[in-house]
Amino acid sequence: MIKRIGLALLLLLIGLLLPSPNYFIGDKNKTYDNEFINSLAKGLNNRWGIVYLNDKDKVKDKDKDKESIKDFRDYIDCELIEIDKYNNRNFKDPKLKEFANAYINNLKETKEAILKKKSILGENFVDSTFTDEWYKYQRKRYELLLDINSIVEIPVKNKKSLNKILKSGKEIKEFNRVYGILVDTFKPEDFEVENVRNEKRYIGNFENTTGYDVGHIYLTIHFYDEKDEGVFSISVEPEGIWKNGTKKSFEFPIYDSDKEFKYFKIFISKKSLRFNRKGYFLEY
């Protein structure tokens, strides 16, 4: 009898502690645009507060010269605690709903990537592969914050931190736009083949229509066989500035001794790109 009473009390306590179903789905007859924006601002304020405290600790403790994986996870949790529930809630503005869901999912994907790295690297080890992965997600996060703020101003306390993110978001969007133009510029079918002794030389003349001077570009050519399997690759790194509105020759040799291939694809390294337009610089 006593055991049954104890079990009943335990179940009652669990029921009181667990959030109601409405916490996750909300009122179906209500829209949550304003609530989301306020929760987003609160999560950002909390995140920046943790960053500020960690930076202070670094000043006090010289041995703590960089953040741990746990620190990065805490930054994400500060936001998810406030906004995760809005993934399944109704919004009046469908575009805001789209960006809100994308932002929440970005945080979750970042956290999942962090946990994978933690299992490989350990709790406190942060290397260049981790920071590269982190930065990839942060770039998308900055874009999404810019998108959200373009619909409704995010009422954060620290306007300086938000404005810095919004500025980065604009630069990232512009970089991605220009990068997309370059991706569309280089098509394998636009290369002509010349036979020179024991090699085939692929030559293509391409016009820079990005609106920027390209200070540096690095191409990787991947070759595939009939089974769509990669057989080999080469790199192309032309010298000199590729002025906007001008054509530049890109070429690479394929020697007779190389393996046979069916087709090739061209990849542009984002990290290598340097854009300049009248003193305005863009890079990854």
Q: What is the dihedral of CA 58, 63, 65, 69, to 10 degrees?
A: -100
Q: Which of 101, 98, 102, 97 is nearest to 34 (CA)?
A: 97
List per-residue pLDDT tens for the chain, 284 residues long: 444 444 334 434 444 444 555 555 567 779 999 999 999 999 999 999 999 998 887 666 655 556 788 899 999 999 999 999 999 999 999 999 999 999 999 999 999 988 887 666 565 667 888 888 899 999 999 999 999 999 999 999 999 999 999 999 999 999 999 999 999 999 999 999 998 888 899 999 999 999 999 999 999 999 999 999 999 999 999 999 999 999 999 999 998 766 789 999 999 999 999 999 999 999 99
Q: Which of 209, 282, 281, 206 is nearest to 245 (CA)?
A: 209
Measure the CA–CA gap between 206 and 182, rounded to whole angstroms. 10
CB atoms within 10 A of CB 227: 7
Measure the CA–CA gap between 42 and 186, rounded to whole angstroms. 45
- Give the global pTM: 0.84
- What DSSP line would sit under 92-103, residue for residue? SSHHHHHHHHHH
Per DSSP, helices labelled H in the chain are 2-17, 21-25, 33-60, 69-83, 94-121, 128-151, 159-185
